Amino acid sequence: MKFITPNRAPSAPSRPRRPTAAIIIEYVSPMRLFPIAAAVAALATPLAAYGSGKMEVLQPWSRPAVAGTNGVGYMVLANHGRSADVLQKVESPLAARVEIHSMSMAGGVMSMAKVNGVPVPAGGEATFGPGAYHLMLIGLTRTLKDGDQAPATLTFASGAKIKVAFAVSAGMGPPAMAPMKR
- Site residues (CB under 5 A) for Cu ion? 101, 112, 136
Nearer to Cu ion, 15 or 101 (CB): 101
Could you tell me the smallest distance in angstroms from the CB atom of residue 32 to Cu ion?
18
Nearer to Cu ion, 23 or 112 (CB): 112
Q: Which residue is nearest to Cu ion (CB)?
A: 101
Nearer to Cu ion, 70 or 143 (CB): 70
Distance CA 88, CA 157 (A): 6
Distance CA 110, CA 154 (A): 26
The DSSP-derived string for 109-155 is: EEEEEE-S-EEE-TT-EEEE-TTSBEEEEEEESS-B-TT-EEEEEEE
Could you tell me the smallest distance in angstroms from the CB atom of residue 57 to Cu ion?
19
Tell me whether strands 55-62 and 161-168 are parallel, antiparallel or unpaired: parallel
Could you tell me the smallest distance in angstroms from the CB atom of residue 104 to Cu ion?
11
